[in-house]
Amino acid sequence: MELSKEDFQPLRGRGLPVEEAPPAPESYWGGVWRRFRSNRQAVLGTAVIAFMVVLSLVGPYLSGYTYYRQDLELINHPPGALYWFGSDALGRDIFTRICYGARISLGIGFLTGVLSLVIGVLYGGISGYAGGWVDEAMMRAVEVLNSIPFLLYVILLMVLLEPGITAVLTALGAVFWLNMARIVRGQVLALKEQEFILSARLLGAGTWRILFRHLMPNSMGPVIVTMTLIVPEAIFTEAWLSFLGLGVSAPMASWGVLASEGMEGLRSYPWQLFFPAFFISLTVLAFNMLGEGLRDVLDPRLRH
């Protein structure tokens, strides 16, 4: 067979058919990102949450008022050019107070989520990984705790602790990790018998490496979803606590405090309730949408 010099040139330059290598298989997170972008619910939820975060950061500087400045000549002023969202019973600007309230309410929501993530992952991870009687005992404890209506104990804790952000966080964190622990434990239990864990162990990986490099990343999906859904619940609970007079103290105000203040003048100054109500509901809705969306995005097998 005759070989010319040309035969040793790359095919691509000569316009001849080339066999393409198959595209690299989609990575897990690549797939997540693709599904996330096309999930309307999740994108919309994220957009609203991002808007709220931005509002909480820049909002207080937009109106030229502070959240504590009182103007007793202009109390209960209706919404308009002077006060965008009206003023409250002490002549404070409701718009600025809502932006500040966003910091508190969102902050409490996020921090409760992180707190229950840390406790829940540790507790559930250990329980599921250890197995046997340790698991049995730890889960029985969760079961007992879970059967107690804990909101009542949140109230008791709040009565004891001085009302304030720390107290709210302590009380909420003490309650919301339970569900997280159960989810993590279920995940770990399902994963730890699988072959890739066995091979990791055969290759000499230690317990901690298996826990943090293999089990945790693989159980992230449901954990993230659970955390996303804890945030709105915490915001909800904080609003409810504030209504009972157990939330953050004046002159700072979470959305719950603003709403319960608005309740007092409801008959004549309904906007004092409408605006905080709108912001709480929209934010909770957005987090729920994101959570539901993420459930589809992170675990396509669990489609409803």
Partner 1 sequence: MARFVLRRIVTMILALWLIITLTFVIMHSVPGGPFSSERKAPPAVLENLNARYQLNDPYWKQYVDYFSNIARGDLGPSFKYDRTVNEIISEGFPVSAALGAVALSFSLGAGILLGTLAAWKHKSWLDYSAMLLAALGFSVPGFILGGLLMYVFAYELMWLPPAMWGGWRHVVMPALALSALPMAYIARLMRSGLLEVLRQEYISTARAKGLSYGYILVHHAFKNALLPVITILGPLAAAVFTGSFAVESIFAVPGLGRYFVVSVMNRDYTLILGLTVFYSAFLLVMNFIVDLFYFLLDPRIRPAGDGGG
Binding mask 222-261 for partner 1 (x = CB under 8 A): ----------x---x--xx--xxxx---------x--xx-
Backbone φ and ψ of 251, nearest 5°: -85, 0
Contact indicator for 196, 214 with CB cutoff of 8 Å: yes
93: which strand partners? 87
In which residue are the tokens 């309740």 written?
Answer: 263
Q: In whole angstroms, how close is the CB of 199 to partner 1 at the nearest point?
A: 26
Residue 202 binding partner 1, by CB under 8 A: no
Nearer to partner 1, 60 or 222 (CB): 222
Residue 54 binding partner 1, by CB under 8 A: no
Contact indicator for 80, 63 with CB cutoff of 8 Å: no
How many whole angstroms separate alpha carbon 219 and alpha carbon 61? Answer: 41
Nearer to partner 1, 31 or 131 (CB): 131
Residue 155 binding partner 1, by CB under 8 A: yes
Residue 200, classified by CB atoms within 10 Å of its CB into exposed (0-12), middle (13-18) or buried (19+), is middle
Residue 192 binding partner 1, by CB under 8 A: no
Contact indicator for 286, 21 with CB cutoff of 8 Å: no
Residue 302 binding partner 1, by CB under 8 A: no
Nearer to partner 1, 139 or 225 (CB): 139
Q: Transcribe 140-206 into DSSP letters.
A: HHHHHHHTS-HHHHHHHHHHHSPSSHHHHHHHHHHHHHHHHHHHHHHHHHHHHTSHHHHHHHHTT--
Q: In whole angstroms, how close is the CB of 246 to partner 1 at the nearest point?
A: 7
Residue 134 binding partner 1, by CB under 8 A: no
Binding mask 79-98 for partner 1 (x = CB under 8 A): --------------------
**Which residues make up the interface to partner 1 (CB under 8 A)?**
139-140, 143-149, 151-153, 155-157, 159-160, 182, 186, 232, 236, 239-240, 243-246, 256, 259-260, 262-263, 266-267, 270, 273-274, 276-277, 280-282, 284-285, 288-289, 304
